[in-house]
């Protein structure tokens, strides 16, 4: 039995008929065509699927699409505005905070959330804030540097 | 038509921190990984896998699955047995190679072994229907430990070879018996390098599309080796190679585990051809842990011979390699790389090594970041520390004493290699200086007085990179590049290496921009599509820049000759130079731009003598030797006496990877390499129980480092150019991993040395350390 849901994604509201068991990440990727968020584990451990739901960073592999009914979702695709990168995106580029790029969309969303909550985190707070997102390429060092640098730019 | 004017460069880009050109698509979520591919009529596959490590298949009932609405086909081993075996590309004398069907026929050999595949219109339906496939197994005894596997009476992994020995391999150099006879000190130690799970954040995935009109197959796969995969897949599927195309989309990390040809890649080709529709399979993380190759898996017995003044005379090794149930592409070759690198950076020339390749009922091991060299380096660097402790020598001093000296290069090792260049004391001295070694030792003495367990650990590693001269590799060790200058003067580079995170779209653009004197924005680097790019070997073994870079360099040189010929024609001169993207007549000073030259070469109204039209060059470069990067890592740790927790207080990495093209990217490679080395040293272990069940089968139970588990790495470099290639580059992809684990373990052993600890096997979990402390230093 499909159910109708209405979700505002990256500022646009859309209505779809979905199976109740459809995961939010599958809804975003396969129904909405937003392939920025990735699937690295489907068990909420890796964070590659991190998106913002009603202002909170969540792992979209452990939420059903029907639970997002009536809500607001922001994915990595919705972060830049009018072609201008978000300061966190800019800092990831500047500081070489990515290599293969697979974890990056989720990592950027987690980093953005961290800075929304704490505009001036120290290194341990940054590391704690992105602890739920795994990266196998960078050793996190340049991610920490990027979050630091984005924090400085955003508060300037 | 006014040709586009290319801006001339202000200064060389090589050596500069150039921001990566691949990043804009990656940070905006607009890159295309294999799971992002959608095709009209695409079907989805779900693979049924054995829950047992060893079992006979008595029967498979697929009827309920087949009747599920939306399911279009179910295939078993019987259906797919005509597809060629999963290939082993390595050859060793007497190697036993089991026939590796893409789907199990009548027996399964490891937990996760593919048995059947369900194909449906939707992946949820495929997954549901997979549960309806009934496989009747008769469970058999299994063996998961390589030492137990080769012991008397162990269950046979392959019934035809009851001793579980896939091969024995012996190599020696110099006179090891004499070295040991003359030795004043002989020390022995069993050292393990545990099985690791590579864990790229993107699992494997395949999309296969059969075009029945053309009888051609396109396979999109997350692989490090598109061309080799194409050659081998065509063979497995009985397709002509020129009608087989492999496309590597964005690859979310490989680390060696995608340097392979997997059953699922051929299986999706088989399915696409059978159903006549595109089909997608995306590996779950659980499958990735069960079925994608693991790394390491060594039990090593080392013996070192030395004089009392610390001079190392010789090294013996008995190496038991856990191969798993099959040979994947390079499985049996990996431990032979360990033997090659046994001498490390040291001058001794007496070596003997014996490898036993042991079959176990586990997923195969194969190349994982470092591939044989981390195991060797861990062994030799542990043995040097054990020797230093025995002789009461400083670990830095004993290393300096035994290093090959700069005037001894090229240096022929006891294992048949020729080290290209090195100043091995430089990174070590630099690391000691950065860390403040003498002060640290003083702090350590004070800490001991205070009852704290502080350790300082060193490793001075060497590695073998730039695989490699073709005679030393199974499928060619060269690399290729094509450079096209378009009629507008824009530059397209196509590399046969297939980068997947290493940043060659940037570093290769730096090289091309410098050589042609054009703006880097006028260069684009393409890779990873066999229908677009000339044949290439791929990215692995720190070879992308070290072999692919020189190929590009030589292609550019060929093109520059042609540019000058057209420049001479346009300027009506017999003496032109080409610099900064401009041809200049050395008599008149008149100039023409690269765009004008390339435009003239394409319009071809007039041609220089003996010169064909067009502006394109392809170069296949055969490296004359490997390259041998080196470095020194220094790690300061403190161990919590009450909990066994290890804190990394300092991590200093000084790496020498030859000439640096982009220091930002090089540092990134070191950071990531260290993270994987630290993962091995402290956290990670693939654990099979005695029945061959993988206990660390998910990210919940397999501890890859999180952000909070990594120290800040103080990374620095020395630059000793390699004489092997014109760029002087050596390769850096694996250095961090190779240098890291022995430095960490040496540091922790140093911290606990007051308790009498001489050696600890990885991973150094708090539980293990706590137990050692409780037992007063007994491991």
Report the residue from B35, B502, B706 with minimal CB separation from A134: B706
Query: B390, B362 in Cβ contact below 8 A?
Result: no
Report CB contact under 8 Å: A35, B35: yes
- Taking the alpha carbons at both ends of chain A, their separation in whole angstroms is 52
Topology of B298-465+626-774 in CATH?
Answer: Aldehyde Oxidoreductase; domain 4 (3.30.365)
CA atoms within 13 A on the CB side of B481: 30
Provide φ and ψ at B541, rounded to 5°.
55, 35
- The owner of tokens 């300096």 is B400
Query: B760, B194 in Cβ contact below 8 A?
Result: no
**C-alpha–C-alpha distance, residues B732 and A147, integer Å:** 26
Report the residue from A21, A127, A136 with minimal CB separation from B253: A136
Residues of chain B found within 8 Å of residue A30, distances taken between Cβ atoms = 38
Q: Which CATH number fits domain B23-28+469-621: 3.30.365.10, 3.30.470.20, 3.70.10.10, 1.10.10.10?
A: 3.30.365.10
pLDDT score for B11: 87
Instruction: Tell me: ipTM over 0.85.
Output: yes
Query: B496, B536 in Cβ contact below 8 A?
Result: yes
**C-alpha–C-alpha distance, residues B779 and B765, integer Å:** 13
Residues A47-56 have a mean pLDDT of: 98
Find which of B528, B653, B707, B712 to mutate to test the A interface (most A CBs within 10 Å of its CB): B707
pLDDT score for B1: 35
Query: B419, B628 in Cβ contact below 8 A?
Result: yes
If contacts are CB pairs under 8 Å, which of residues 298-327 in chain B contact chain A?
Answer: none
Nearest Cα residue to A127 out of B488, B355, B403, B711 = B711
User: B684 CB near a chain A CB, below 8 Å?
Assistant: no
Per domain, the residue ranges of chain A are 3-78, 87-155
3-state secondary structure of A7: strand
Report the residue from B28, B32, B284 with minimal CB separation from A77: B28
Question: By CA distance, what is B698's nearest residue in A?
Answer: A41
Question: By CA distance, what is B39's nearest residue in A?
Answer: A30
Question: By CA distance, what is B288's nearest residue in A?
Answer: A41
Question: A70 to chain B, minimum CA–CA distance in Å?
Answer: 24
Tokens of A30: 């396969």
pLDDT score for B10: 65
Whether the pLDDT of residue A104 is over 70: the answer is yes
**C-alpha–C-alpha distance, residues B736 and B433, integer Å:** 19
What CATH number is given for A87-155 in this structure? 1.10.150.120
If contacts are CB pairs under 8 Å, which of residues 35-54 in chain B contact chain A?
Answer: 35-36, 38
Specify whether domain A3-78 bears CATH 3.10.20.30. Answer: yes
Residues of chain B found within 8 Å of residue A99, distances taken between Cβ atoms = 253, 501-503, 668, 672
If contacts are CB pairs under 8 Å, which of residues 39-68 in chain A contact chain B?
Answer: 39-43, 45-46, 48
pLDDT score for B2: 36
Residues of chain A found within 8 Å of residue B737, distances taken between Cβ atoms = none
User: A69 CB near a chain B CB, below 8 Å?
Assistant: no
Provide φ and ψ at B106, rounded to 5°.
-120, 5
Question: By CA distance, what is A99's nearest residue in B?
Answer: B501
Per domain, the residue ranges of chain B are 23-28+469-621, 298-465+626-774
Q: Which residues of chain B have pLDDT under 70?
A: 1-10, 779
Report CB contact under 8 Å: B253, A96: no
Query: B513, B502 in Cβ contact below 8 A?
Result: no
Report CB contact under 8 Å: B672, A39: no
Question: A156 to chain B, minimum CA–CA distance in Å?
Answer: 22
Between B226-237 and B263-275, two packed helices, what is the crossing angle to 10 degrees? Answer: 60
User: B255 CB near a chain A CB, below 8 Å?
Assistant: yes
User: B282 CB near a chain A CB, below 8 Å?
Assistant: yes
Report CB contact under 8 Å: A39, B699: no
pLDDT in tens, B660-688: 999 999 999 999 999 999 999 999 999 99
Question: By CA distance, what is A84's nearest residue in B?
Answer: B28
The angle at the Cα of B254, spanning A128 to A22, to the nearest 5 degrees, equals 65
**Long-range contact list for A18-21, CB < 8 A, 24+ apart?**
A18/A65, A18/A66, A19/B124, A20/A64, A20/A66, A21/A64, A21/B124
Residues of chain B found within 8 Å of residue A79, distances taken between Cβ atoms = 28
pLDDT in tens, A3-27: 999 999 999 999 999 999 999 999 9
**C-alpha–C-alpha distance, residues B582 and B560, integer Å:** 11
User: A126 CB near a chain B CB, below 8 Å?
Assistant: yes
């Amino acid at each position: 039995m499909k159910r109708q849901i209405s979700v505002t994604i990256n500022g646009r509201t859309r209505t779809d008929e979905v199976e109740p068991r459809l995961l939010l990440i599958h809804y975003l990727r396969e129904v909405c065509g937003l392939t920025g968020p990735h699937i690295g584990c489907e068990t909420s451990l890796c964070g590659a699927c991190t998106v913002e739901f009603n202002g909170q960073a969540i792992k979209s592999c452990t939420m059903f699409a029907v639970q997002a009914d009536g809500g607001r979702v922001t994915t990595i695709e919705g972060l830049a505005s009018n072609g201008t990168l978000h300061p966190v995106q800019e800092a990831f580029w500047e500081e070489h905070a990515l290599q293969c790029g697979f974890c990056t969309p989720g990592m950027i969303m987690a980093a953005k959330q961290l800075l929304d909550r704490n505009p001036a985190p120290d290194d341990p707070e940054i590391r704690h804030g992105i602890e739920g997102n795994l990266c196998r390429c960078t050793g996190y060092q340049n991610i920490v540097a990027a979050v630091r640098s984005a924090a400085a730019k955003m508060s300037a | 038509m006014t040709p586009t004017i290319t801006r001339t460069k202000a200064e060389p880009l090589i050596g500069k921190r150039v921001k990566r050109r691949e990043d804009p698509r990656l940070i905006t979520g607009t890159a295309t990984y294999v799971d992002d591919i959608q095709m009209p009529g695409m079907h989805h596959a779900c693979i049924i896998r054995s829950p047992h490590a060893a079992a006979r298949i008595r029967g498979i009932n697929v009827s309920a699955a087949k009747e599920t609405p939306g399911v279009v086909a179910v295939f078993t081993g019987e259906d797919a047995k005509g597809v060629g075996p999963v290939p082993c590309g390595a050859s060793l004398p007497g190697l036993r190679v089991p026939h590796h069907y893409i789907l199990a026929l009548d027996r399964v050999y490891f937990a996760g072994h593919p048995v059947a595949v369900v194909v449906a219109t939707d992946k949820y339906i495929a997954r549901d229907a997979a549960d309806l496939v009934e496989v009747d197994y008769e469970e058999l005894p299994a063996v998961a430990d390589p030492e137990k596997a080769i012991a008397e009476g162990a269950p046979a992994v392959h019934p035809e070879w009851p001793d579980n020995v896939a091969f024995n391999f012996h190599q020696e150099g110099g006179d090891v018996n004499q070295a040991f006879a003359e030795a004043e000190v002989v020390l022995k130690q069993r050292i393990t390098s545990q099985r690791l799970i590579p864990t790229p954040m993107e699992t494997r995935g395949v999309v296969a599309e059969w075009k029945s009109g053309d009888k051609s197959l396109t396979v999109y796969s997350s692989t490090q080796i598109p061309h080799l995969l194409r050659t081998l897949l065509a063979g497995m599927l009985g397709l002509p190679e020129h009608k087989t195309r492999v496309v590597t989309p964005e690859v979310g990390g490989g680390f060696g585990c995608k340097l392979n040809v997997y059953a699922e890649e051929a299986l999706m080709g088989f399915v696409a051809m059978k159903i006549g529709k595109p089909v997608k399979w995306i590996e779950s993380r659980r499958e990735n842990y069960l079925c994608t190759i693991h790394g390491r898996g060594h039990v090593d017995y080392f013996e070192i011979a030395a004089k009392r003044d610390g001079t190392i005379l010789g090294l013996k090794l008995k190496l038991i390699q856990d191969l798993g149930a099959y040979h994947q592409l390079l499985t049996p070759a990996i431990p032979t790389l360990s033997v090659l690198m046994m001498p490390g950076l040291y001058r001794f020339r007496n070596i003997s090594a014996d490898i036993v390749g042991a079959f176990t009922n586990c997923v195969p091991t194969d190349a994982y970041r470092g591939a044989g060299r981390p195991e060797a380096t861990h062994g030799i660097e542990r043995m040097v520390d054990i020797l230093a402790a025995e002789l009461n020598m400083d670990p830095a001093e004993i290393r300096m004493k035994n290093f090959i000296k700069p005037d001894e290069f090229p240096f022929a090792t006891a294992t048949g290699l020729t080290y290209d260049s090195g100043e091995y004391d430089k990174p070590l001295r630099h690391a000691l200086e950065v860390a403040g070694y003498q002060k640290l030792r003083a702090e350590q003495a004070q800490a001991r007085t205070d009852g704290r367990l502080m350790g300082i650990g060193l490793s001075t590693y060497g590695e073998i990179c730039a695989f490699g001269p073709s005679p030393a590799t199974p499928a060619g060790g060269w690399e290729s590049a094509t450079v096209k200058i378009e009629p507008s003067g824009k530059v397209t580079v196509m590399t046969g290496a297939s980068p997947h995170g290493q940043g060659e779209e940037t570093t290769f653009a730096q090289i091309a921009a410098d050589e042609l004197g054009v703006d880097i924005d006028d260069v684009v680097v393409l890779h990873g599509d066999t229908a677009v790019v000339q044949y290439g070997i791929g990215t692995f073994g720190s070879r992308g820049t070290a072999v692919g870079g020189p190929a590009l360099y030589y292609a550019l040189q060929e093109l520059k000759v042609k540019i000058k010929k057209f420049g001479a024609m346009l300027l009506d001169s017999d003496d032109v130079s080409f610099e900064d993207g401009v041809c200049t007549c050395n008599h008149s000073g008149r100039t023409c731009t690269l765009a004008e030259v390339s435009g003239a070469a394409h319009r071809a109204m007039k041609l220089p003598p003996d010169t064909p039209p067009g502006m394109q060059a392809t170069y296949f470069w055969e490296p004359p030797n490997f390259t041998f990067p080196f470095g020194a890592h220094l790690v300061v740790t403190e161990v919590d006496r009450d909990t066994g927790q290890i804190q990394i207080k300092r991590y200093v990495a000084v790496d020498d990877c030859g000439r640096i093209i982009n220091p930002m990217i090089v540092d990134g490679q070191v950071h990531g390499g260290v993270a994987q080395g630290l993962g091995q040293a402290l956290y990670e272990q693939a654990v099979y129980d005695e029945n061959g069940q993988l206990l660390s089968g998910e990210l919940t139970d397999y501890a890859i480092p999180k952000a909070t588990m990594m120290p800040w790495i103080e990374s620095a470099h020395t630059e000793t150019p390699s004489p092997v290639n014109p760029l002087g580059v050596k390769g850096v992809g694996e250095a961090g991993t190779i240098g890291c684990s022995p430095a960490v373990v040496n540091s922790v052993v140093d911290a606990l040395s007051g308790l009498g600890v001489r050696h600890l096997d990885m991973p150094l979990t708090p539980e293990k350390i706590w137990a050692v402390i409780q037992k007063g230093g007994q491991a």
